[in-house]
Structure 1
Amino acid sequence: MKRLTILGATGSVGASTLDLVARNPERFEVVALTAGRDWRRLAELAVAHRARAAVIADEAAYAELKAALTGTGIAVSAGPAALVEAARMEADLVVAAIVGAAGLPPTLAALEAGISVALANKEALVCAGHLMTAAAARSGATLLPIDSEHNAIFQVLESRERVRRIVLTASGGPFRCWSRERMQGVTPAEAVKHPTWSMGAKISVDSATLMNKGLELIEAWHLFGLSPEQLGVLVHPQSLVHGLVEYVDGSVLAQLGPADMRVPIAHALAWPERIATPVERLNLAAIGRLEFEEADRERFPALALAEAALADGLCRPCVLNAANEVAVAAFLEEKIPFLAIADVVGETLAAIRPRRPETLADVDAADAAARSSAQQFVYLNHVSRFAAQHASG
């Protein structure tokens, strides 16, 4: 029996993870489940999977969660400190699927405690990758990537010393064939309609701008220890080839699979073994052809911004991530147009130049400074846009 703690149990990754757990009751035991605000769903999942503990990040929801689980024997707690304690509970694997900066402290806590982590939280590596990898090295914990692209590389990476290049694939998003002019009028409803994956609004917008692939390059740099020059992106609209590793002898190994997150999650849960999944099998004869093309950094400047932040190092990726979160939220609230997302990120990167973070407090400081600056640029963009519309009207 492998003992699991799932941070972010009510999200899409948490749901896919628990689906696999339910299908393999003889292999997995749930230690703790956490959620952000959805105490009702967390209570249901904790009872259904016989968790020992349930933790809600929103302290205002503690009373409701406590009442819902009274008499079950399940320990209940709330707040950021409780998330960290849940991550430290005795377990064999922590699935880190909390979205945003809130996932950083518990993920780091698990690694420091020597517990292996199946990582789906981008911010953990983008903002504090060297802290995470150093903690894992000190404690002997293993970082197992859940993102389909990084998991693909993990599966086919034989020896870093013999790697020439790693390539992450991108679907290209819903606007792959759109001109910049056409993208000027993109609506949030259009941006969240991903052509192949079912994801949340924020990550869907990141896919539409290609920022998601830029963030994944930064993650890959931390995970696999290669230089930025050895990391690349290739657009692959079918989303069946998830990653490729080119070796010095000319061989290229690729991992293929359906666009279903249960495949990489199953690999991480069972590693170094494998378990069966209910996903649809690939029929390459029926698919017929696989297409690849270069990413267009002029139409999608967010990717170029991420690559520049990676090359610059220090805390630039943290600034990039914070500014992007602010800009995407503003777009989803219809405060700025789609193309302004990259503008806000670029302006913030030019304005904020923090030092290399040595602690989570340093990461928090850089994150806060970047968010404050990005909010100002969102406001200026919004005011400028309103003034232009008023003048034309």
Structure 2
Amino acid sequence: MPPPWSDRPAKPSLAYRVTSSPLVLSVAALIAALVVGGLLIILTDPAVTSKTSYFFARPTDTLVAAWKSVSAAYLALFEGSIYNPGGTTLAQRFYPLTETLTIATPLIFAGLAVAVSFRSGLFNIGAQGQIIAGAIVAGYIGFTWDLPAALHLVLVVVGAVAGGAVWGGIVGVLKAKTGAHEVILCIMLNYVALNLLLYLLTTPAFQRPGSANPISPQVSETALFPRLLGDSFRLHWGFVLAVIAVAAISWLINRSTVGFRLRAVGANPQAAATSGINVTTGYIVVMLLSGGFAGLAGAAQVSGTERVLTGDIAASFGFDAITVALLGRSTPWGTFWAGLLFGAFRAGGVAMQTTTGTNINIVLVVQSLIVLFIAAPPLVRAIFRLPDPAQAGRRKKRRTPVAAAVGQDAAQKSGASR
């Protein structure tokens, strides 16, 4: 134990370290978003609003109806995404969980793509276009080439990574060589990729024979991810590949020399350049990596879930990935859990609307509110009274009255001895 006159700061308590951690802040942001979402459910539920006319006469009627409305909606969200107690078989009970994992797979890949760029100081909002580019290459290889099963699937995955990496690499090269802003480049390339896909689906090479709709032929069986739990579920081995990708990027970012250089570029490009790190090369490498992971999301869609190439193959995964990466604090495993959470929102939102009549857009509002609260840490800390470690670090050291008295006494004795 340090003496009372020591200027060494005391070790923070366990409670302080827990409440000031980024994980707690993310959980608090999620809770705040769910609370606001609950208020929106109450305000839009006719069963609740009809009782507000006599609120002051019998307030309990309104409060009970509000509680039933919110609890029923969120219970339906849980049952539609995690566990359905009404299922007659074990498979039916856990089917919602498999749907959550299926939907989360491309979200995890795309979230990793965005998280890698965030850690390197680049704001990659082009994951949507990179998913499409990867899906185009993966789909073409999948329904055109005739190869053995294992080799065919491997080439589909490699092609998707290559397609996404090239699309992301364009941004990296232009950023490094011309100084163009990556946000503008990503937005433009998103439009280019989408319109390129829509055009290709009208050409003989990509359009399904005999169909007037913009849809490709079915991907060959040899190019599909096998079902992880059998044909009764849509969950495929792409989810396992996503877990492997999370572990790989975690090692790359935190343990490898390349990851250290990328983190250095993201922390301070000027300091990184001064220490001998090639910043321009770093920009290109990180966008190649980012685009490659987004391309894997395209492969998961084409060879895993959809099994065809359509104009809506990327859905909104590329934009949702930004939210996933933010909620995951741009860490690989944080992004993984955030991807599962948003997969649950997507899977359970449909059940929530079907069972309770709650508008599915409430789920989108909750997702948007999570971004809002994540982007405003002071607001979340103020709501939940969480400590701010940055403020604690900037606070000047103050000696206690005992320490001040001891210091003054020591100074007087020193002067007397002279």
**TM-score (normalizing by structure 2):** 0.24
**TM-score (normalizing by structure 1):** 0.26
Which has the larger share of helix?
Answer: 2
Higher RCO (CA < 8 A, seq sep 6+): 2
* Structure number with larger C-alpha Rg: 2
